[in-house]
Structure 1
Amino acid sequence: MEYLIRFSQSHETFRLAEIQSLAIIEGIDLEIISYSEESPFCIVRLPSEDAARALIRRSVLTQTIHEHWGTAETYDELHAIVKRNTAHLWPQYKEVSFKINMDTYQGSRSGTKKVELINSFAYLPFEGQILLKSPDQEFTIFEQWEFNAMPRNLPDPLKVHFGRFVGGSIREVIKTYDLKKRTYISTTSMDSELSLVTANIALAAPGKIFYDPFVGTGSFPIACAHFGALGWGSDIDGRSVRGEGGKRSLKGNFEQYGLEQLLGGVFVSDLTNSPVRRSKIFDGIVCDPPYGVREGLKVLGCRDPEDKDARLVEKGKKWYKKSTFVPPKKAYSFMAMLGDILDFASDTLVENGRLSFWMPTANDQEQEMPVPTHPCLSLVVVCTQDFNRWSRRLITYRRLPDSEVDTSALAQWRQEEKLSGHTADDLNAFRRAYFNGFRTEQPDVDVVAG
């Protein structure tokens, strides 16, 4: 049976990725029949009405799903399709209460015109009471007008759809987790909508273990916990993990939402010096790594390992246990960090587990940062959030079963030379481009006097 999905008008490149991931979680056979990012309407084929409800019951970017009765370019064509293809469905709605709504995406209709268009479906043999509140069945006329059309007074929509309401999403939950209402946040806390979408794309679900190695104030583990997963996290900055104690802490955020039973634990750790056992223990890894713009990226270690004091620190001199001890840090390559994330995920994800992390890039093709690859990980989808001259991408991978890994490619990947340098700018091309205004560097030109 065909169904019409009505998406929200946000994050267009994330929409299909989310419902395709939800189909995997629910074990539903999903076929995309028609979709364009310029339209919030998507026609899909699903095995049943129960499957349609299950598909979007935890969706964040979907509004509603409808049994698809017809799509056409004109109302005359739509009526002909509805009469031809759905007459066998009419008897079951003959005596129930109902109402017909109108949804005019990118357009508008007067109240009088809406009534006229609704009455054009009077041939439907519905004899039940018309109820505007809580009817047994709801039908909707969807008008799809030209995207960003100017002027707005076009005579006719591009397409018209008609369908019967089947189920709604959990889009309202975005307000529940709104950062403005959260007790403890930082400047880098991911907003609630994208945190929840990330958790969905990463396949967070009950009985699964999820981990964020750049946990900050806990946006991603909270989103995963909302969907029933057990959340773990770590961060090199112990201040963000500990917070101020009580309610103003990462743990306090979990308690705010009644999710404390789904917080596995958090600890202070650098990804490159992690105490996490390198075995397949995580069902998913979700994170928004630091971009190194506000301050250069750092990892634990000594900038000059030949320094005498550095060697004493590395050998574990007893004063490292004192509360006043601050571990030394050194500059860290942004691309090396991405490689370390992929390598860590390849070692700790279960087979078919997912890694979903955010990565910035310049919109200029000459400065665009390539999507990193790893022999143990298969790229699932890349979703993009655009900001003027730069964008950030949610990149999602699937951990391949060991039997599918190219061992020779893996050996070569581990031997590749890592980027070297000493300063934040040396090691972070995105940081250089950001402070350069994303202008392409021009080669030196010799000036010839004439």
Structure 2
Amino acid sequence: MEYLIRFAQTHEPFRKPELQALASLHNIDLEIISYDQISPYCVVRLPSEEAARTLISRSILARDVFELWGHGTTYEDLHADVRRRTQHLWEQYEQVSFKFNVDSFAGKRSSTQKTEIIQSFSYMAFKGPIRLKNPDEDFWVMEQFYDRTHNPFLAAGASHPPPLTGPDALPVNIYLARKLGESSREVVNKYDLKKRRYISTTSMDAELTLITANMAHAAPGKLIYDPFVGTGSFSVAAAHFGAITLGSDIDGRSFRGKEMDKWKMTGVQLNFQQYGISSQFGDCFTSDLTNTPLLDRQFLDGIVCDPPYGVREGLRVLGMRDTHRRKEELIIDGLPAHLRPGYIAPKKPYGFEAMMNDILAFAARTLVTDGRLCMWMPTSIEEGTEVSIPMHENLEVLSVSVQPFNNWSRRLITYRRLPEGVLSDVSTGRRKEDEAGVNADDLNAFRRNYFSKKPPQKKSPIPAPQ
């Protein structure tokens, strides 16, 4: 059976990968029949209505799902397709209460036009009561118009293209569909950073963290780890979907926060308490991937992370700059300095390429088979250059979704841990080793490229990368 999914028009490069990730999570056989980033409508083939509702139930970028009753580029074609597909179903819905809606994307219809459109389906002869609130069945007529950005007639240089708006505008796609269920998109407002008790300037927004949690297959009974936990944005999102979370950070102050008597909690735990998901909070600890206390075996179901980009300050890793020089142990009031409360361990410069390699190597060692790594990676935008993706022979790249900004972009890369004995082709991957150097620019090509570019002409609402 064919179904229609209506997406929100935001983060378009992430919509299809999220849908495929949810199908994989629920073991649903999904076939995408038609999809276009400029359109909110996606036609898919699914085994049942139950599968359709399950698939959409926790999506963030989809809005709702429908049983497709007909499709055409004109109303004449649509009515013919509706008769062909669903005439045998009309009797089943003859006596139930129902409602018709007309929704136009990139176009507009007057009330009179909407009424005429609805009445054009009178041949279906539904005899049940029309109920505008809580009907038994909710039917939607959905029209897609071309907007000015993507109008093919304008792009082809047509001197008299069809009108885009007004009573003479014609849609390019028309669907009739029966609504089955809605997504979880409304939770984005619940986890809005503006309402969260503990955040920082680098906390990622709620929508993207929830999408990342979906890509990582966060679910009840799974253990999700964030090695750059910060204020816990990814951990909160994973916990929302029922996963147990772990987090670590090289600077323990980022997740500990300051004591707040009002809520009797501090830092990341304050956010878990706010959303009523404290039972999903495993722990947070001070560490980095090169000095981790975690088990060196496969036990994690997922890893989600937005590694530091090293722009505001150079990347650091625990350790001494000069490893050949022996340093005397510092004793304060009879206690070694490293055992005193508030001790901050020394750090040395760390290369961006080395960090990418260490994350992949750590994931390959600790993820269970089919476990997922969802990693954000920044890239500078340079014309004529192709971005190579970091790869590991034990990890399969499932999807790469790009979020562009002014003079840089970032990518959400999703990997799957392959079974033992199965290796991926890494010949096209970025496997560059750490560059020789002692300062931040020497060790971080992204940082060097970012600052070598001219500032944007207009002020961006997006903050500079961390």
Give TM-score, length-normalised by structure 1: 0.92
Residue 253 of structure 1: CA displacement? 0.5
Q: Is the 8 A contact 1:34 1:43 kept in 2?
A: yes
Residue 16 of structure 1: CA displacement? 1.0
Other-structure match for 1:158: 172
Residue 19 of structure 1: CA displacement? 1.1
4+ residue runs over 6 A deviation: none
Residue 306 of structure 1: CA displacement? 2.1
Identity %: 54
Root-mean-square deviation (Å)? 2.1
Residue 304 of structure 1: CA displacement? 1.8
* 1:117-128 matched pairs, under 5 angstroms: 117-128=117-128
Other-structure match for 2:155: none
Q: Is the 8 A contact 1:69 1:162 kept in 2?
A: yes
- Alignment partner of 2:229 out of 198, 212, 215: 215
| Shift in alpha-carbon separation, 1:173–1:60, aligned structure 2, 3 A | same
Residue 148 of structure 1: CA displacement? 3.6
Other-structure match for 2:357: 339
TM-superposition CA deviations, 1:374-402 (whole Å, max 9, x none): 11101000011111221110000000111
* 1:56-71 matched pairs, under 5 angstroms: 56-71=56-71
Amino acid at match of 1:50: E
| Shift in alpha-carbon separation, 1:366–1:301, aligned structure 2, 3 A | farther
Q: Whole-Å Cα distance in 2 between the matches of residues 128 and 263 of structure 1?
A: 50
Question: Runs of 5+ in structure 1 lacking a partner?
Answer: 440-450
TM-superposition CA deviations, 1:3-37 (whole Å, max 9, x none): 00001111111111111111111111111111011
| Shift in alpha-carbon separation, 1:376–1:342, aligned structure 2, 3 A | same
Other-structure match for 1:442: none
Q: Is the 8 A contact 2:352 2:434 kept in 1?
A: no
Where 1:234 maps in the other structure, the secondary structure is: strand
Residue 370 of structure 1: CA displacement? 2.1
| Shift in alpha-carbon separation, 1:325–1:85, aligned structure 2, 3 A | closer
Q: Is the 8 A contact 2:315 2:351 kept in 1?
A: yes
Residue 200 of structure 1: CA displacement? 0.4
Where 1:280 maps in the other structure, the secondary structure is: coil
Other-structure match for 1:353: 371
TM-superposition CA deviations, 1:89-129 (whole Å, max 9, x none): 11111000101101101111111111111111111110001
Other-structure match for 2:157: none
Other-structure match for 1:114: 114
Where 1:292 maps in the other structure, the secondary structure is: coil
Q: Is the 8 A contact 1:241 1:268 kept in 2?
A: no
Give TM-score, length-normalised by structure 2: 0.89
Amino acid at match of 2:23: A
* 1:258-273 matched pairs, under 5 angstroms: 258-273=276-291
Residue 366 of structure 1: CA displacement? 5.1
Residue 416 of structure 1: CA displacement? 7.6
Greater mean alpha carbon deviation, residues 386-395 or residues 363-372:
363-372
Other-structure match for 2:160: none
Residue 420 of structure 1: CA displacement? 2.2
Residue 301 of structure 1: CA displacement? 1.2
Residue 302 of structure 1: CA displacement? 1.5
* 1:26-425 matched pairs, under 5 angstroms: 26-148=26-148, 152-153=164-165, 155-245=169-259, 246-309=264-327, 318-323=336-341, 325-365=343-383, 369-405=387-423, 417-425=433-441
Amino acid at match of 1:374: H
Q: Is the 8 A contact 1:107 1:152 kept in 2?
A: yes
Where 1:308 maps in the other structure, the secondary structure is: coil
Greater mean alpha carbon deviation, residues 244-253 or residues 156-165:
244-253
Size of the alignment, in residue pairs? 431
